[in-house]
Structure 1
Amino acid sequence: MHMMCMMHMPCMMHVVSFGENEGDHVEDSTSAAHSGRIVGVLAVAGIVAALMQTLVVPLIGELPRLLHTSASNASWTVTATLLAGAVATPVIGRLGDLYGKRRMLLVCSVPLIAGSVVCALAGSVIPMIVGRGLQGVGMGMVPLGISALRELLPPQRLGSAIALISSSMGIGGALGLPVAAAVAENASWRALFWGSAALSALVAVLIWKLVPPTPAQASGRFDLVGALGLGTGLVCLLLGVSKGADWGWTSGTTLGLLAAALLVLMVWGWWELRSGDPLVDLRVTARPQVLLTNAASVVVGFAMYAQALIVPQLLQLPEATGYGLGQSMLAAGLWMAPSGLMMMAVSPLGARLSAARGPKVTLCAGSLVIALGYGSSTVLMGSAWGLMIVTCICSVGVALAYGTMPALIMSAVPPSETAAANGFNTLMRSIGTAVSAAVVGVVLAQMTTTLGGYTLPSEDGFRAGMLIGCGVAFLAALITLAIPVRPAASASRQVAPAEPKAASLT
């Protein structure tokens, strides 16, 4: 009897062991599916928020007539979104740390919906500008979503998820142009905004249903003085940079705004260093890894946006210029759409490279790929196919670079400052794009040619803009090389606090 029991014991142990493994497998599969839904919802939220940036681009030429205003006033429909997004993003990030990221994601959906409805009903330029500003506030969804991943996902899924959601800004921007152009050409312009309102409402429902609650990670009070100071300084800075070409770079208005920005931001920095609960912890921001990553973000933002300004113009300028390709707005958008798909496809590869070699290597590689894309324009600029290849190469580099910045930031800041630090990093990218628009605008305005009585940017101007983008991308790579390497164990300890929360939610 004893021998028979001993003979059967391994079999029984095997059965028990098999049952436990099978249960673990089912649990892992459920956890993976749950994580996948969270990542999918947050990626869609980021893409919808990014769509708002390019929504009015096909309408820019028609807005003065549609809104009974001047071209300069109509341009504020773009500027308002930039300003509102830049000011709101770091503020929303801090509120996410204080009150929970899921809650603030739902709060961000409100101005997206409201702004879209206001724009759809607008009959003059003022309501349109107000609505576009509200849409810009919704851009805070992207850094909030990235920060929420640290609490909602197990560490092994964090890298690829961060890369995908970081790329959603570029994906939404690239896909938004052809979609908006198609709707504008085949339906009422108001349909663009009703559609964006419906998408925003859908995102809010998906977040409500599928994203678990996230607890507050920080304590203390909200720094209202710091928020007002940062907002004032940023408005002065970005307004001076984005409107300097229209007002004149030596005009009193431009110089006054830039001087006010410098003064206000210096006083803001002094306040933040003295505050017990700062909006942005400048001491953490001054850590070499955070500081240099933010510096690289400014430069990569510049490099990313330069080609986005140049390529659409080359595609749409008349063939009579000798270098323009005579494409419609819709066709130009379709030629650029594959770049967004490339970002979506490459972001998981960037996560794997970061896991194998570290995010610093991926950021450097991404910067070099962007430089390669700009360099390839020297031989590919003469055809629509060539320009599509240029934008795809640049987008591969942007996907690699954008996917690593949040990882570098989050591994260097405490969990209580994750959203605020990511919001500040997103702000750095926005400053880079604003400076890029100003610099490229000056280059194209200075290097011109005349055709049929119209002054147009010259081919040499476009080539110069591309070479500037190439040089700036190389500069981003050099900055990246100076980022101190953190040991893998230290980085994992920074992410470790998210693990119990992820387990409890699944």
Structure 2
Amino acid sequence: MSDAPAPTAETGTVAPPPRPHAVVAVLAFSGVVVSLMQTLVIPIVPELPRLLDAPASDAAWAVTATLLAAAVATPVMGRLGDMYGKRRMLLVSVVLLVAGSVTAALSDTLGPMLVGRVLQGLASGVIPLGISIMRDELPAERLGSATALMGASLGVGGALGLPAAALIADHLDWHALFWISAALGVVAGALVVALVPESRVRTGGRFDLVGGAGMTVGLVCLLLGISKGADWGWSSGTTLGLFAVAAAVLLVWGQWELRIPEPLVDLRSTARRQVLVTNLASIAVGFAMFAMSLVLPQMLQMPAGTGYGLGQSMLTAGLVMAPSGLVMMAVAPLSATVSRTKGPRTTLMIGALIVAAGYGLNIALMSEVWHFVLVSCVIGAGIGFTYGSMPALIMGAVPPSETAAANSFNTLMRSIGTSTASAVAGVVLAQMTTPFGSVVLPSENGFRTVLVLGAGAALLAFAVAAFIPRQRDAGSDRDPEGTVRAASGEGVAEPAAPVTRQG
């Protein structure tokens, strides 16, 4: 493809970014660095009570705190990016990642560790912000493959982070995990400053503080109930109370967002059929993706004496999962090609079917290490397709001035899916057990049940995606609602219907 300047509504032509390949590489690298934090502490979770001199139930908050912070920060950073500059907020996110990593690296007790993990979670807006920068800055013909790669970076970081973290934890002091995370964050921030331009697409206006507070309370209660319900009891007063508060607060929050002129989340945009159905499919995709991450490492590390476990180390389990991340990255260009020729709706449906096929394969093949490598690669390919298609679907239905907020909300929907998968799998594996010596372990049928649920979630994503409206070429300058993509970053020209808060 040519790097010829893309037309704009004001001047007719505008020069493309001086180094679009560098912009894509830096943003994708930043996405991988931020996604690494999701698996960063997994190798040391069993040791955290001893390392932090804290009860096991309290030490588990080192994982939960990051999840909650990420859920809140992602839509907030997206809205702030649309208002004040996406590159600026991306840099803020990276600074928070570095600050959190340094805080955790200096900690030897639970309190500072939780502060550090919360700060790391607040950096989760990097990926949707990066996708939005790509829409504003890249030539149209590069956009599809670039956003597919950026979307896949979430899975790439998670897959590569597990073996890397296990290797570091085995050979170095555990604090090195966070020092290395901080160093990677510094590199990412320096590259963003040097190579990524600031978009001129802005909405302006005031930040919705009431909406932000309401969303924070509602999401924290919802995700806390989902993630800790198995520990506290699903029928306990605490769990039911959290769900009740979440329902009440989110209902009031939704009414507030619909009433004010400059909401944190434009619910009218999210109610558009294409956005709404894509977000619903994203929940199912998030569930399907995380089920693999829960089952495969456990089965690989289960004692061989059970008859179904393979007795492998955490490092080996991580290395088995790592190729899936590379596959996600490798299929990103293919995902973009399918989206360009057949539409991202078709790409999402193909990816969901591949994920379901991977789980079906795992149900039949689960007795050798290479079986799990094959399964993780197949599921990784499917996830690469789905993660590459969803940003295109979202961007095809919202104006450039709302891209960051809309992509951030879509990322939040995937997070709700992954949290739900963790809760459901925890319940299944806790109920379907088998005795092994003096301990009780999840049974083979329990693992198979979670695999079936993962396949079912992927098939549900396929069925939901079928209701997404067909659209034109995702890489064209005109989205399916008739809005011309302003490659100059100046805003939206020639809208087919009135849109709000144009930059």
Same fold (TM over 0.5): yes
Q: 1:57 to 1:23 in 2, by over 3 A?
A: closer
Are positions 1:160 and 2:145 aligned together?
yes
Inter-partner Cα distance in structure 2 for 1:358 and 1:73: 47
Moved more, 478-487 or 444-453: 478-487
Q: 1:495 to 1:396 in 2, by over 3 A?
A: farther
Q: 1:140 to 1:290 in 2, by over 3 A?
A: same
Are positions 1:104 and 2:93 aligned together?
no
Inter-partner Cα distance in structure 2 for 1:263 and 1:116: 35
Are positions 1:464 and 2:452 aligned together?
no
2:319 equivalent in structure 1: 334
Q: Secondary structure at the match of 2:263?
A: coil
In structure 1, list runs of 5 or more residues that go unmatched.
1-21
2:30 equivalent in structure 1: 45
Identity level (%): 58
Of 66, 79, 83, the residue aligned with 2:64 is 79
2:486 equivalent in structure 1: 497
Are positions 1:227 and 2:212 aligned together?
yes
- Give the 5 Å matches for 1:175-214: 175-214=160-199
- Give the 5 Å matches for 1:54-93: 54-93=39-78
Q: 1:156 to 1:439 in 2, by over 3 A?
A: same
Q: CA deviation at 1:23?
A: 12
1:318 equivalent in structure 2: 303
Q: CA deviation at 1:452?
A: 1.1
Of 454, 457, 478, the residue aligned with 2:463 is 478
Contact 1:99 1:215 in 2 (8 A): no
1:303 equivalent in structure 2: 288
| 1:337-364 deviation per Cα after TM superposition (whole angstroms, max 9, x unaligned) | 1111100101111000111100000000
Q: Secondary structure at the match of 1:326?
A: coil
| 1:241-291 deviation per Cα after TM superposition (whole angstroms, max 9, x unaligned) | 000000000000000001100000000000000011000010111000000
Contact 2:4 2:16 in 1 (8 A): no
Q: CA deviation at 1:24?
A: 7.2
- Give the 5 Å matches for 1:80-479: 80-479=65-464
Q: Secondary structure at the match of 2:465?
A: helix
Inter-partner Cα distance in structure 2 for 1:500 and 1:184: 44
Contact 1:448 1:461 in 2 (8 A): yes
Which amino acid counterpart does residue 428 of structure 1 have in structure 2? Answer: M
Q: CA deviation at 1:67?
A: 0.3
Which amino acid counterpart does residue 376 of structure 2 have in structure 1? Answer: T
Contact 1:117 1:194 in 2 (8 A): yes
Q: CA deviation at 1:115?
A: 0.3
Which amino acid counterpart does residue 332 of structure 2 have in structure 1? Answer: S
Q: Secondary structure at the match of 1:369?
A: helix
RMSD of equivalent CA atoms: 1.7
Contact 1:116 1:196 in 2 (8 A): yes
Q: CA deviation at 1:384?
A: 1.1
Q: CA deviation at 1:328?
A: 0.6
| 1:52-100 deviation per Cα after TM superposition (whole angstroms, max 9, x unaligned) | 0100000001111000011111110000111000100000000000001
Structure number with the higher helix fraction is 1
Contact 1:99 1:216 in 2 (8 A): no
Inter-partner Cα distance in structure 1 for 2:440 and 2:228: 20
2:8 equivalent in structure 1: none
Aligned positions, number: 477
Q: Secondary structure at the match of 2:434?
A: strand
Which amino acid counterpart does residue 57 of structure 1 have in structure 2? Answer: I
Contact 2:3 2:139 in 1 (8 A): no
Inter-partner Cα distance in structure 2 for 1:377 and 1:398: 16
Question: Which of the pair has more CA radius of gyration?
Answer: 1
2:11 equivalent in structure 1: none
Inter-partner Cα distance in structure 2 for 1:178 and 1:319: 21
Inter-partner Cα distance in structure 2 for 1:500 and 1:473: 36
Which amino acid counterpart does residue 401 of structure 1 have in structure 2? Answer: T
Inter-partner Cα distance in structure 1 for 2:201 and 2:208: 16
Q: 1:23 to 1:81 in 2, by over 3 A?
A: closer
Which amino acid counterpart does residue 449 of structure 1 have in structure 2? Answer: T
Q: CA deviation at 1:381?
A: 1.0
Q: CA deviation at 1:487?
A: 3.8
Which amino acid counterpart does residue 455 of structure 1 have in structure 2? Answer: V
Q: CA deviation at 1:453?
A: 1.2
Inter-partner Cα distance in structure 2 for 1:318 and 1:23: 56
Inter-partner Cα distance in structure 1 for 2:438 and 2:251: 47
Inter-partner Cα distance in structure 2 for 1:216 and 1:369: 36
Q: Secondary structure at the match of 1:449?
A: strand
Contact 2:101 2:120 in 1 (8 A): yes
Inter-partner Cα distance in structure 2 for 1:289 and 1:200: 35
Inter-partner Cα distance in structure 1 for 2:400 and 2:33: 27
1:14 equivalent in structure 2: none
Moved more, 238-247 or 379-388: 379-388
Inter-partner Cα distance in structure 2 for 1:256 and 1:495: 47
Which amino acid counterpart does residue 485 of structure 2 have in structure 1? Answer: A
Structure 1 consecutive aligned stretches of length 4 or more whose deviation exceeds 6 Å: 22-25
Q: CA deviation at 1:499?
A: 4.4
Q: Secondary structure at the match of 2:202?
A: coil
Inter-partner Cα distance in structure 1 for 2:412 and 2:88: 21
Which amino acid counterpart does residue 479 of structure 2 have in structure 1? Answer: A
Contact 2:201 2:400 in 1 (8 A): no
| 1:447-502 deviation per Cα after TM superposition (whole angstroms, max 9, x unaligned) | 00010111110000000110111111111000000111134474175452124669
Inter-partner Cα distance in structure 1 for 2:488 and 2:369: 48
